[in-house]
Amino acid sequence: MKNELRGVANPHTRFAVAVLACAWIVAAGPAPAQRPTHAQNSKNQQERPDADISIVDLQFMDLSTAVDVLRDAGVNVRTAFDPRVQSIILYGPAKQLRLAERLLSELEARNERVAEKVPTIIPVRHRDVESIRNLLARNYGGRGTDIGADEENQSLVVRADEGDLESIRSLVRQFDTPRASLRLQFFFVRGVVGGDDPNDGQPWEPGLPKSLRPVAASLSEAGVSHVTLLAPLIANALEQERFAASGAVMESSGSEVRFEVEGEARIGDDGQTARLELQGQVRRYGIGAKIGEVRSIFSVETSLSVEVGDYVVLAAAPGTLEDTDALGLVVRVNRDDARQ
């Protein structure tokens, strides 16, 4: 037996030894994984191009702006930034990291040159300072020029070369013009859809002001006759400022009909047109014996350009005063110094 074990001459004995060896390996299981060392991690990052990391210090460039620039430029890196040390962290393929570093370096150098320029304060007296800043930034962005808006002091803060600075001053003088004082007239009119023309063939009632009769003639082409004025409203406002006007009339039934307009207007660059944003509505309050009840009779919301001084019908639609009624809103925009 001793000789057989030493020489492993018996094939059954060899099989038994092999089986015991396999059983021991299965029972023991795989060897526990060793935690990689810091040196191994660094080596793996160098070997894997998608695991490279770079930290870029920025002194003259806003960190969130830097992230936006890399994204807009299509640089394929992940970013994070630490505002405590004014640094941006880049993670990605080595080639993309070098591209990101070069782009940030060039932008940082440009911002440094801008920061070295003495800031110039340009007052804005009439217009919105942020709007003018945005307009100038579109024309001078990326040229080593920085334009900021100090809304509290209604001023622009500009860092630019002398040549650009003079151009910016000239543009500010062009855009910073006094706001036009506007006189807006609104006329709520009422007509009859499909009615006859008893007034010698004229589509308006005798009390309609002469200035509105061309409007009535225009409405007659849409089948509206017996046009009469329900309520005139007038609003005086500076352009690009909100205006509002309202009025009310009492009906024989005791109900109150209230007319309201609000919006914003500005004169076009040609001085002959006006851009108008407008909401108008008519409501009836206290209908018959139902005190406190409110009913919407007419409503319009629109945006359009009108010729200064012209009467323009913004809307005409069936109303709910009577079954055959139609209501319309007419507007006229004038400069306040050109009242007629």
Cα separation, 59 vs 37, in Å, equals 34
Does residue 333 form part of some domain?
yes
Number of CB atoms found within 10 A of residue 335's CB? 16
- CA end-to-end span of the chain, whole Å? 133
Does residue 16 form part of some domain?
no
One domain for residues 190 and 166: no
Does residue 6 form part of some domain?
no
* Domain of residue 54, CATH code: 3.30.1370.120
- Give the model's pLDDT for residue 46: 47
One domain for residues 161 and 185: no
DSSP conformation class of 204: B
88, 58 contact by CB (below 8 A): yes
Residue 279, token pair as written in the block: 């909401």
One domain for residues 271 and 223: yes
- Give the model's pLDDT for residue 208: 92
One domain for residues 189 and 152: no
Cα separation, 299 vs 314, in Å, equals 11
Q: What is the pLDDT of residues 133-190, one digit of tens each?
A: 988 888 786 566 888 899 889 999 988 877 888 889 999 998 888 888 899 999 999 8
Counted domains in the chain: 3
Residue 49 clears pLDDT 60, i.e. is over it: no
- Give the model's pLDDT for residue 287: 63
One domain for residues 166 and 187: no
- Give the model's pLDDT for residue 248: 92
One domain for residues 206 and 328: yes
Strand, coil or helix: what is 160? coil
Angle between helices 162-175 and 129-140 in degrees, nearest 10: 140
Residue 31 clears pLDDT 50, i.e. is over it: no
One domain for residues 164 and 223: no
Average per-residue pLDDT in the chain? 77
Does residue 22 form part of some domain?
no
One domain for residues 85 and 99: yes
Residue 74, token pair as written in the block: 């299509």
At 43, give phi and psi (nearest 5°): -65, -40
Question: Last residue of a domain, which of 96, 115, 134?
Answer: 115
Higher pLDDT, 56 or 320: 56
- The range of the structural domain enclosing residue 145 comes to 120-175
- Give the model's pLDDT for residue 199: 62
Percent pLDDT > 70 in the chain is 74
Residue 65 clears pLDDT 70, i.e. is over it: yes
Question: Residue 101: enclosing H or E segment and its boundaries?
Answer: helix 94-115
- Reported as a pLDDT band with limits 50, 70 and 90, residue 27 is very low
- Give the model's pLDDT for residue 92: 86
One domain for residues 73 and 129: no
One domain for residues 150 and 277: no
Does residue 2 form part of some domain?
no
One domain for residues 65 and 192: no
Q: What is the pLDDT of residues 115-129, one digit of tens each?
A: 667 788 999 988 888
- Give the model's pLDDT for residue 39: 42
- Give the model's pLDDT for residue 238: 87
266, 247 contact by CB (below 8 A): no
One domain for residues 195 and 325: yes
Cα separation, 94 vs 79, in Å, equals 14
Cα separation, 106 vs 113, in Å, equals 11
Q: What is the DSSP track for 17-78?
A: HHHHHHHHHHHH-SPPPPPPPHHHHHHHHHH-GGGEEEEEE-SSS-HHHHHHHHHHTT---E
Mean pLDDT of 229-244: 90
Q: What is the pLDDT of residues 198-215, one digit of tens each?
A: 566 788 888 899 999 999
Candidates 216, 220, 214; CA nearest to 189 is 216
Does residue 24 form part of some domain?
no
Number of CB atoms found within 10 A of residue 215's CB? 24
Question: Last residue of a domain, which of 92, 115, 138?
Answer: 115
- Give the model's pLDDT for residue 156: 93
Question: Last residue of a domain, which of 148, 175, 202?
Answer: 175
Q: What is the pLDDT of residues 296-321, one digit of tens each?
A: 888 889 998 989 999 998 866 665 55
Does residue 280 form part of some domain?
yes
- Give the model's pLDDT for residue 337: 59
Q: What is the pLDDT of residues 251-289, one digit of tens each?
A: 877 788 899 999 999 888 777 899 999 999 999 887 654
- Give the model's pLDDT for residue 288: 54
